[in-house]
Amino acid sequence: NAGVTQTPKFQVLKTGQSMTLQCAQDMNHEYMSWYRQDPGMGLRLIHYSVGAGITDQGEVPNGYNVSRSTTEDFPLRLLSAAPSQTSVYFCASSSRGSSTDTQYFGPGTRLTVL
């Protein structure tokens, strides 16, 4: 099993550009989520999905879109990048989405917006 994979590992964007961060898992997990991690802020939930076709907003959803067409994939879209979106982005999956489940995190995407 590859676990949770994320691409790209690094990305530099200019303000106003769009891009999609890819996330895939091969553990047949229903629950997937996107977090951003900023210095001094901890992890913050952007969007999550409890299954294919179902998504919802987390704590900091503004500026991001998601979709879940398959169980395996959960891409995160930045429609018009802003410097405030410079961060490290983590995708995670778990079997049930409960707090005490093991969440499997991907290796992260380091995004810089100039």
Q: Could you list the residues that contact another protein (CB under 8 A)?
A: 4, 31, 33, 39-45, 48, 56, 58, 90, 92, 94, 97-108
* In the complex, least distance from residue 16 CB atom to another protein, rounded to whole angstroms: 29
CA-to-CA separations, 95 to 13, 91, 102, in angstroms, rounded: 33, 14, 8
Our CB check for another protein shows the closer of 49 and 71 to be: 49
Our CB check for another protein shows the closer of 13 and 90 to be: 90
CA-to-CA separations, 37 to 30, 33, 47, 96, in angstroms, rounded: 23, 13, 14, 23
CB 21 within 8 A of CB 6: yes
Our CB check for another protein shows the closer of 34 and 113 to be: 34
